[in-house]
Amino acid sequence: MTLLERHGFAAARAETLPGDASKRYTRLHGGPRPALVMQTPDAEYLDAFLRVAEHLRAIGVATPEVLAVDRPGLTALVEDLGPASMADALDAGAAPGPLYAAAVESLARAAAAPPPPGLPAWDAAAMSRTAAATFLEWWWPARFGAPPDDAVRAGLDTAIREMLAPFAEPFAGGAGFVHRDYFPANLMPTPRGMALIDVQDAATGHPAYDLVSLVEDARRDVAPALRDAALRQYLAARPELDAGDFAAAMAACAAQRHLRVAALWVRLDRRDGKPHYLQHGPRCWALLDRALAHPATAPLARFLDAHVPPALRGNP
């Protein structure tokens, strides 16, 4: 008996949803409850999803309920939260204030609770490595016509590590849950609150990173008033955080993220044949410039001033 037969979905009509290389979703119509089949690429991915989803539900953060698991088949039957993400709601003209407030509420709850064991570290080393993987491996040769030399590679690594060093204590002593891609397409408005999806890449790191991902979105403009309101709400929910330190950490996390993602669009264009992502490049470079104005980002600002003057900062 198959997974679907065991759980009452034998006669359900299957609708394959758009996905990516890491997973595939199928929506089931006509079963006993709204559900999706999630096909994962390997056991590590499936186990990470299950572990993080269980943790979030245990601390009261909405995420799809796992209805059944077929480990040999690398498949999970999960609750279908509906077709409309927060991004869809914003695109349809919904008032952004309540949506961002719900997203901040879920984020603060997720970040304040002790993270589950076994998550990887989203620390300075990992953040330097991922920035180099897009900026040096894809943006740099596309802009300059050749790969960077060893001195440039070492310089970027040193700059990012120095920039993040003042914020290492949360990594080492009190690192919290970090979703790592906390933006509207990965959030689902539900009666239980804003639900998190795509949770399998969660890590432990500085809490500023996810708030930056939300309010300095690489894919859409966020009004300054919304950003400010979200920051005030987050700090009110977590009074143990120092506002000045947190603002500095946001700037440092923003500089790393915007550099990495601005270059990611180039990789998606050159490697994957998806040039439409380049439309987001100007936004990311503008957000990077904003972050570089903060004193906390001085090491990365000096590196870029030496190697990539402002006139060259953009899509190649």
What is the C-alpha to C-alpha distance for residues 120 and 221, in angstroms, rounded to an integer? 30
The neighbour count for residue 133, using CB atoms within 10 Å, is 14
Q: What tokens appear for 157 in the block?
A: 């690594």
Judged against a pLDDT cut of 80, whether residue 1 lies above it is answered with: no
Q: How far is Cα 20 from Cα 117, in angstroms, rounded to an integer?
A: 27
What local confidence, expressed as pLDDT, does residue 24 receive?
Answer: 85
Residues 30, 210: Cα–Cα separation, whole Å: 36
Domains of the chain and any CATH numbers: 3-79 (3.30.200.20), 86-312 (3.90.1200.10)
CA distance 181 to 196: 10
- Strand ranges, E, within the chain: 13-16, 24-29, 35-39, 66-70, 75-79, 121-122, 176-178, 187-190, 193-196, 203-205
Residue 19 has pLDDT above 80, yes or no: no
> Quick one: what percent of the chain has pLDDT higher than 90?
88
Q: How far is CA 190 from CA 27, 70, 82, 86, in A?
A: 18, 26, 9, 10
pLDDT at 280 over 60: yes
Evaluate if residue 121 carries a pLDDT over 90: yes
Task: Determine the pLDDT at residue 250.
Answer: 97
- By mean pLDDT, which of 14-18, 82-86, 104-108, 261-265 is the weakest? 14-18
The answer to whether residue 21 scores a pLDDT higher than 80 is: no
What pLDDT, on the 0 to 100 scale, is given for residue 124?
96
Residue 175 is predicted with a pLDDT of 76
pLDDT of residue 22: 55
Instruction: Evaluate if residue 95 carries a pLDDT over 60.
Output: yes
pLDDT(173) > 60: no
The residue written with tokens 């991922």 in the block is: 130
pLDDT category at 170 given cuts 50, 70, 90 is low
Contact 139, 266 (CB under 8 A): yes
4: confidence class by pLDDT, cuts 50, 70, 90: confident
Q: Is 177 helix (H, G, I), strand (E, B) or coil?
A: strand
Q: pLDDT class for 25, splitting at 50, 70, 90?
A: confident
Average pLDDT for the chain: 94
For residue 35, how many C-alpha atoms fall within 13 Å in the half-sphere facing its CB?
24
| Residue 7, SS3 per DSSP | coil
CA-nearest of 13, 52, 50 to 35 is 13
Please check whether residue 268 is in contact with residue 274, taking contact to mean a CB–CB distance below 8 angstroms. Answer: yes
pLDDT tens per residue, range 209-266: 999 999 999 999 999 999 999 999 999 999 999 999 999 999 999 999 999 999 999 9
Share of the chain above pLDDT 70, in %: 96
Contact between 296 and 163 under an 8 Å Cβ cutoff? The reply is yes
Q: What is the pLDDT of residue 174?
A: 62
The helix (H) or strand (E) run that includes residue 97 is helix 96-112
Q: Please report the pLDDT score of residue 228 as a whole number.
A: 98
DSSP secondary structure of 196-248: E---TT-EEE-THHHHHHHHT-SSS---HHHHHHHHHHHHHH-TTS-HHHHHH
- Averaged pLDDT, 177-198: 96
pLDDT of residue 20: 60
